[in-house]
Amino acid sequence: MNWFEQQTFSTFRIAITLVISLFVGGLLGFHFIEGYNFVDSLYMTVLSVSTVGFEVVRPLSPQGKLFVSFLILFSLGSFTFVGSSVVRFFLDGEFVKNLKNKRLSKRIERLTDHVIICGYGRNGEQAALELTDNNQPFVIIERRENVIVRIQEDPNLLYIQGDATNEDVLRTAGIDHARALIATTPNDADNMFVVMTARSMNANLTIVSRASEIGSDSKLRRAGATNVIMPERMGGQRMARLVTQPDVVEFMEYILLQRNRDVSLHEVHCRKMSETNLGKTIGELKMGSVTGTTIIGLKNGDGKYVFNPGVDYPLSPKDQLFVLGSPEQVKSLNSYLEGKV
């Protein structure tokens, strides 16, 4: 239950308690002070609480008059409090916020085969942009209030405010049916707990974690991370290569990081190859001339990488191709391998 739900529940709980207390107090007061039966006590309580001024059952004793006065004042104060709370609930936007949170939760519940991003700092935000460009569904887990406010500026972002090391938070993010998790917090210890918790909850999950300190990468892998990225090390390597091989770096960045996606590097799995294509070599398939894509490498069934495979290389359903091409060309290649073209 989030903060707004807690506040709403607390307000209405107080309101219901006050109303019940009014009627119970009125029933008991009129019964013991004036000797009324249940129906008369209820009637007098309703008259006093509503202050409509109908005729009383019989003239009240001095004690009864004091009790009615107290009951009327207490009821006026109670209903004033309840009314102001309800008005504040709507005017302060809590109702709208609650409604948005409910809708957000429903959208997150419907996610499948998605990515969970833990932490929305610079790395987390960049990961979110990349996933958005590739039309990959994702949900963000962030606990910092100021960052949540920034996330809320984009209505398309799905998020959960909470601690990613908490199993309940990860379960709310749909870790049971997620395909990957990215841990991007700047603290290696936090990332370690996130990785360990996520791995214990989903053994098949692909987990990518950030590491800042030397030696943390091996610990994170032992904790269950599939891959570990060290932004500082990568930044240093990139700066050095911009000195030694500037054009190569710029070319690779253009391929991997361009925003227009005219041509980019894609993974193409061969697991759905048609029977007519099974056993054929790259040369026999003529994929380049048919689809316009360029194969720069592949990963075979043994997990080994083959760079620039020759035309005599026979493809199998266990191979995974790395190709350069536009989204349309890659889509055409997938259809061609499946025998649909």
Q: What is the DSSP string of 170-215?
A: HHHTTGGG-SEEEE--S-HHHHHHHHHHHHHH-TT-EEEEE--STT
- Distance, in Å, from the CA atom of 232 to the CA atom of 230, rounded to the nearest integer, reads 6
State the pLDDT confidence band at 116, using cuts at 50, 70 and 90: very high
pLDDT at 127: 93
pLDDT at 96: 59
pLDDT digits (tens, 9 = 90+) for 189-204: 999 999 999 999 999 9
The pTM score is 0.61
pLDDT at 197: 95
Contact between residue 338 and residue 274 where contact means Cβ atoms under 8 Å apart: yes
pLDDT at 189: 92
What the chain holds in terms of domains, given with CATH numbers, is: 3-94 (1.10.287.70), 111-234 (3.40.50.720), 261-337 (3.30.70.1450)
pLDDT at residue 58 is higher than 80? no
- Distance, in Å, from the CA atom of 119 to the CA atom of 82, rounded to the nearest integer, reads 39
Contact between residue 211 and residue 228 where contact means Cβ atoms under 8 Å apart: yes
DSSP string, 295-320: EEEEE-TTS-EEES--TTPBP-TT-E
pLDDT at 9: 65
pLDDT at 200: 94
State the pLDDT confidence band at 49, using cuts at 50, 70 and 90: confident
Across 115-138, average pLDDT:
91
Across 14-36, average pLDDT:
85
How do 264-269 and 320-325 pair as beta strands? antiparallel
State the pLDDT confidence band at 340, using cuts at 50, 70 and 90: confident
pLDDT digits (tens, 9 = 90+) for 199-226: 999 999 999 999 988 888 899 999 999 9
pLDDT at residue 93 is higher than 70? no
Q: Please give the structure tokens belonging to residue 197.
A: 């918790």
pLDDT at residue 22 is higher than 80? yes
Mean pLDDT of the chain, nearest integer: 85
pLDDT digits (tens, 9 = 90+) for 146-168: 999 899 888 889 999 999 999 99
Strongest mean pLDDT among 35-49, 144-158, 232-246 = 144-158
pLDDT at residue 90 is higher than 70? no
pLDDT digits (tens, 9 = 90+) for 289-337: 888 898 989 998 888 999 989 889 999 889 999 998 888 888 899 898 8
pLDDT at 157: 92
State the pLDDT confidence band at 235, using cuts at 50, 70 and 90: confident
Contact between residue 170 and residue 201 where contact means Cβ atoms under 8 Å apart: yes
